[in-house]
Amino acid sequence: MKIIRAFASIALALAAFSQSAFAVVYPLPPANSRLIGENIEITVPEDSKLPLEAFAAQYQMGLSNMLEANPGVDVYLPKAGSKMIIPQQL
C-alpha cells in the first residue's frame, strides 16, 4: 500500500511540475516601453504541404492572428520560400 501511495505521489508531482516547461518566456521590455516579446520571421520550407493553421499551431498562435500578421498569404497552402511573420510581440 505504501508503494502505491509513493508511486501515486511521484506521478502527481511530475504531472504538476511538468506543465511549467511548456510556458512561453518573454524578456522584460526596455524602460518606457510596454511591448514585450519579438515577432519571429520564418521561411516556408520548399517541400511544405502544410496549411497556415499548422504553422499557427506549431507556434501556439491563433489562425486569426497569423492572418492579420500575414495578409495575402494563402490559408490552405502558403507559397514555398515565402516569408511569414509569427506575431509574438504583445
What are 68-86's pLDDT values in tens digits?
999 999 999 999 999 999 9
Give me 50's grid cell: 502544410
What are 51-67's pLDDT values in tens digits?
999 999 999 889 999 99
| Strand-pair partners of 85 | 41
- Domain ranges across the chain: 2-86
Query: Is the Cβ–Cβ distance between 56 and 62 less than 8 Å?
Result: yes
Q: Does domain 2-86 have CATH number 3.10.350.10?
A: yes
DSSP state of 81: T
Separation CA 17–CA 52 (nearest Å): 32
What is the b/e burial string over 24-63, where b = at least 16 CB atoms within 10 angstroms of the residue's CB? eeeeeeeeeeeeeeeeeeeebeeeeeeebeebbeeeebee
Whether the full predicted model's pTM is greater than 0.85, yes or no, is no
